[in-house]
Amino acid sequence: MMSYFPIVRMRRLRENATLRHMLTEVTLEARHLVLPIFVRPGRGVCEPVEALPGVAHWSVDRLPEIVEPAMELGVKAFLFFGLPSYKDEDGTSGADMSQPAQQALSSLRACYPDAYLIADTCLCEYTSHGHCGHVTPDGRIDNDESLRLLANVALSQARAGAHMVAPSDMMDGRVSAIRAALDAEGMTDVAVMSYAAKLASAFYGPFRHAAGSTPSFGDRRSYQLPASNPREIIRDALMDVGEGADALVVKPAGCCLDIVSRLRAETDLPLAGYVVSGEYMMLRSAIAFGSLEEERGLLEYHTGLRRAGCDLVITYFASELASRLKKG
């Protein structure tokens, strides 16, 4: 279609506020948002996370204080990260039913039937070395042995009450390993949302601080994806589709919108974009510095993800955004 000024004037559609509203193409609504929550051992604890101002570590008994207000604002989905009371080589605490993540899932599942509970399935928070898999004596990450451990973590989370498990480790074959383990236990209705396009990113810094999951040696580049390789990223993400993933996560979100829009074109699965800790802090710092208008800036940033093709947006700003959206 050719369009020529002055016959065509784009501003005719933008001049009138009612028409502008009628022609809104992409919306950001509370129902699209997922709020990540860190759960830690103990009782009566709500401890602010220094690396992530505005985010806290919660003990299970105090979770209603963050879950209820969010639900009142229309945020119904929560993504849980567990901080265990012990760590070992193979991350045993990740599959321990008495640990905070599992306890949180079972208590919320009983108290809030409308809440949708997603568990982050990984090993790095639970291993003494901080890697997302089993480390061999020569310091490599053993893919297939890691699958066995990850499937156990996912099973324990599903048994505890997770509606959905979200493997974020980036081992090959984890989606099918987890799907098979769930199905073998009759948990065919538990969904798997894989972090399908997860980059080896500098933007996880504050999270690793918050979750105590910085690797004690090496880095995660043997399993997380290189920012320089779009074709490899898409191939890797589409592998998860073939293995039976129900939804895919792209992470970080803001600097990977090309990946979101390519995946949107190549698969019909629901897509989630994760505004990770480093992006959160970029936005927070800009707001604190007076360089970014809080409400409009946050709305624009998160709407960008929806425009690129995200069905869901995982963000530490979920409650703030929902409260802004409620005001209209």
Of 38-46, 118-126, 240-248, 258-266: span binding ligand PBG (CB under 6 A): 118-126
Q: How far is the CB of 289 from ligand PBG (least distance, A)?
A: 21
Strands 141-142 and 134-135: antiparallel
Neighbours of 230 (CB within 10 A): 15
Q: How far apart are CA 37 and CA 28, in angstroms?
A: 21
Total residues contacting ligand PBG (rule CB under 6 A)? Answer: 11
Position 47, amino acid = E
> Residue 124 half-sphere exposure, CB side, CA atoms within 13 Å?
27
Decide: 59 and 43 in contact? Cβ < 8 Å: yes
Closer residue to ligand PBG (CB): 8 or 48: 48
Q: Is 326 a catalytic residue?
A: no
Q: How far is the CB of 328 from ligand PBG (least distance, A)?
A: 29
Site map for ligand PBG, 159-188, x if CB under 6 A? ---------x--------------------
Q: How far is the CB of 51 from ligand PBG (least distance, A)?
A: 10
Q: Which of 58, 204, 223, 301 contacts ligand PBG by CB under 6 A?
A: 204
Q: Is 198 a catalytic residue?
A: yes
Closer residue to ligand PBG (CB): 189 or 210: 210
Interface with ligand PBG includes 126 (CB under 6 A)?
Answer: no
Residue 247 pairs with which residues in a beta bridge? Answer: 193
Exactly one of 76, 198, 326, 327 is catalytic; name it: 198
Residue closest to ligand PBG, measured at CB: 207
| Helices 64-72 and 318-327, axial angle in degrees (round to 10) | 30
Q: Within 255-314, which residues bind ligand PBG (CB under 6 A)?
A: 276-277
Q: Counting runs of H as helices and runs of E as strands, what totals does the chain give?
A: 11, 12
Interface with ligand PBG includes 120 (CB under 6 A)?
Answer: yes
Torsion of CA 316, 307, 249, 157, to 10 degrees: 50
Interface with ligand PBG includes 249 (CB under 6 A)?
Answer: no
Interface with ligand PBG includes 208 (CB under 6 A)?
Answer: yes
Residues that bind ligand PBG (CB under 6 A): 120, 122, 124, 132, 168, 204, 207-208, 213, 276-277
